[in-house]
């Protein structure tokens, strides 16, 4: 009512800062202590204000901080750890409550995870082989964000992984999420090649089927605001998707068809692409050809495929090279370890000689397909014979299997 509204002066009540919220919590402290029969440490109140501001992005201060201290006190009271004496709510209790509210592992919330961040690069390199440069760039971006030196209104990092198939682009994204202890969310861009399919990510417009439902991407980020988001084979997506990603990479927000915003500030955005891989493999003609020419060819293809404003918002375009022999042997060890873990339940021990290890690395590598053929080689040469031995040849109660090479062929001995 315009007539009514102009007769009243508008007063805006702004959201309090973290310091102001701490003062509010100290003022409310005695009431909650009396209600729950517990005590609050001063560090718990500070943690409640700081961590709720950082991790509960969809609510406002001081309400979310008050809810945190209330729930922490209830959890302590129900656990019965206080005995007859009043229990003390510490910063550790606050961290556990925030972890449950935000859907994160408790170790991700704790402020004492310096050692895990310090070993981040080393931990990823222990499971992703042959791509040390890519791991270093990714680790530095994550550390920069945790140190508070990255842009506060952008994702933790926006990266484009380029290179041939089967060299570890998707695996690096998956292992990064595992090491950080956050959710891994993957979208295959081959499902969004048509213009109308892109609307599924942010929700259908009014009048179309599915308007009452949220978008797949926005709902996924709203459910898991702390995650590694992988957009696999981005070059297959419709060009309209690139326009949507500009908003995500620049302001870390995306609004769906219902007007709800998804917050991408704590998301590591990774896009993979095989674009330019074929050009990088082709050799330049002439005596003046250099090894770097193939890399320049790949970069030119990337420039043609992605617009300047899109490339400018990327934190880094990370090239993935071909796998070396030593990297392939490390991958063989990793996959053999997974097979041994499966066999341990059957009390079967797998022993692979160095010669067999080198044979598998050689047979399982294809310059065109990377390490993907290795899984098929392991299935044909090891899993199938071992399955027969377990089922029909006396290994049902356990035993030892030795894998060796004789006359250029893989031999399995019991």
Counting beta carbons within 10 angstroms of the beta carbon of residue 406, is it exposed (0 to 12), middle (13 to 18) or buried (19 or more)? exposed
Q: With cut-offs at 50, 70 and 90, classify the pLDDT of residue 62.
A: very high
Least confident of 23-27, 37-41, 330-334, 391-395: 391-395
Cα dihedral value 32, 37, 40, 44, nearest 10: -80
The span from the CA of 185 to the CA of 203, in Å, is: 18
Query: Distances in Å between the alpha carbon of 4 and those of 113, 122, 186, 265, 384?
Result: 55, 65, 51, 40, 81
Q: What pLDDT sits at residue 85? A: 64
Q: What pLDDT sits at residue 307? A: 86
How does 152-190 read in b/e, with b if 16+ C-beta sit within 10 Å? Answer: eebbbbbbbbbbbbbbbbbbbbbbbbebbebbbbbbebe
Q: With cut-offs at 50, 70 and 90, classify the pLDDT of residue 291.
A: very low
Query: Strand 348-352 vs strand 316-319: parallel, antiparallel, or unpaired?
Result: unpaired
Q: Against a cut of 0.85, is the pTM above it?
A: no
Q: Looking at the DSSP assignment, which residues form a beta bridge with residue 87?
A: 38
Mean pLDDT of all residues in 162-175 = 87
Residue 4 has pLDDT above 50, yes or no: yes
Domain covering 325-413 in this structure, CATH number: 1.10.8.60
Q: What pLDDT sits at residue 260? A: 83
> What does the DSSP 8-state code read for residue 382?
I
Q: What pLDDT sits at residue 148? A: 66
Residue with tokens 């995306």: 254
Q: Where in the chain is the domain with CATH 3.40.50.300?
A: 114-319
CATH of 18-109, one of 1.10.15.40, 1.10.8.60, 1.10.10.10, 1.10.3720.10: 1.10.8.60
> What does the DSSP 8-state code read for residue 80?
T
Contacts for 93 with CB less than 8 Å, ≥ 6 apart: 44, 72, 75, 76
Mean pLDDT of all residues in 40-58 = 89
Q: With cut-offs at 50, 70 and 90, classify the pLDDT of residue 289.
A: very low
> Does residue 332 contact residue 302 with C-beta atoms inside 8 Å?
no
Domain covering 114-319 in this structure, CATH number: 3.40.50.300
Q: With cut-offs at 50, 70 and 90, classify the pLDDT of residue 280.
A: low
Q: What pLDDT sits at residue 335? A: 87
Q: Where in the chain is the domain with CATH 1.10.8.60?
A: 18-109, 325-413
- The CA R_g of the chain, rounded to the nearest whole Å, is 27
Q: With cut-offs at 50, 70 and 90, classify the pLDDT of residue 386.
A: confident
Q: With cut-offs at 50, 70 and 90, classify the pLDDT of residue 209.
A: low
| Candidate ranges 61-70, 159-168, 187-196, 368-377; pick with highest mean pLDDT | 61-70
Residue 177 has pLDDT above 50, yes or no: yes
Please, what is the end-to-end C-alpha distance for the chain in angstroms? Answer: 87
Contacts for 293 with CB less than 8 Å, ≥ 6 apart: 284
The token pair at 142 is 């994550």
Mean pLDDT of all residues in 113-119 = 72
> In sequence order, what DSSP letters do the residues of 328-343 get, joined into one string?
HHHHHHHHHHHHHHHH
Residue with tokens 């049902």: 396
Q: What is the pLDDT of residues 310-364, one digit of tens each?
A: 888 888 888 887 888 888 888 888 888 888 888 887 788 888 888 888 888 888 8
The span from the CA of 349 to the CA of 388, in Å, is: 15
């Amino acid at each position: 009512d315009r007539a009514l509204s102009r007769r009243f002066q508008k007063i805006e009540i702004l959201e309090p800062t973290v310091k102001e919220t701490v003062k509010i919590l100290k003022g409310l402290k005695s009431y909650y202590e009396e209600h729950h029969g517990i005590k609050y440490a001063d560090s718990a109140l500070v943690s409640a204000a700081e961590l709720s501001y950082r991790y509960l992005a969809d609510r406002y201060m001081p309400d979310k901080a008050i809810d945190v201290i209330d729930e922490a006190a209830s959890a302590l009271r129900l656990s019965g750890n206080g005995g007859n004496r009043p229990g003390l709510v510490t910063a550790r209790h606050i961290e556990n409550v925030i972890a449950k509210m935000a859907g994160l592992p408790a170790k991700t919330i704790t402020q004492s995870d310096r050692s895990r961040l310090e070993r981040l690069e080393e931990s990823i390199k222990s499971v992703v082989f042959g791509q040390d440069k890519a791991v270093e760039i990714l680790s530095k971006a994550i550390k920069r964000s945790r140190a508070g030196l990255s842009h506060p209104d952008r994702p933790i990092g926006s990266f484009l992984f380029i290179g041939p198939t089967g060299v570890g682009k998707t695996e690096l994204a998956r292992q990064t999420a595992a090491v950080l202890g956050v959710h891994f969310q993957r979208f295959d861009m081959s499902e969004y090649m048509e213009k109308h399919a892109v609307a599924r990510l942010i929700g259908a417009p009014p009048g179309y089927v599915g308007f009452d439902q949220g978008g797949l991407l926005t709902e996924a980020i709203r459910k898991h605001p702390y995650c590694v988001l992988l957009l696999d084979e981005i070059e297959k997506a419709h060009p309209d998707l690139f326009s949507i990603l500009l908003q995500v990479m620049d302001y870390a927000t995306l609004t769906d068809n219902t007007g709800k915003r998804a917050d991408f500030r704590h998301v590591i955005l990774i896009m993979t692409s095989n674009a330019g891989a074929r050009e990088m493999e082709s050799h330049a003609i002439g005596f003046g050809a250099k090894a770097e020419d193939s890399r320049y060819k790949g970069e030119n293809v990337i420039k043609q495929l992605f617009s300047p404003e899109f490339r400018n918002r990327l934190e880094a375009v990370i090239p993935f090279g071909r796998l070396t022999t030593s990297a392939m042997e490390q991958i063989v060890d990793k996959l053999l370890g997974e097979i041994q873990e499966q066999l341990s339940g059957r009390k079967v021990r797998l022993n692979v000689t160095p010669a067999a290890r080198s044979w598998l690395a050689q047979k399982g590598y294809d310059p065109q397909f990377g390490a993907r053929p290795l899984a098929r080689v392991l299935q044909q040469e090891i899993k199938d014979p071992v399955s027969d031995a377990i089922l029909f040849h006396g290994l049902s109660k356990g035993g030892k299997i030795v894998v060796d090479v004789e006359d250029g062929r893989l031999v399995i001995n019991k």
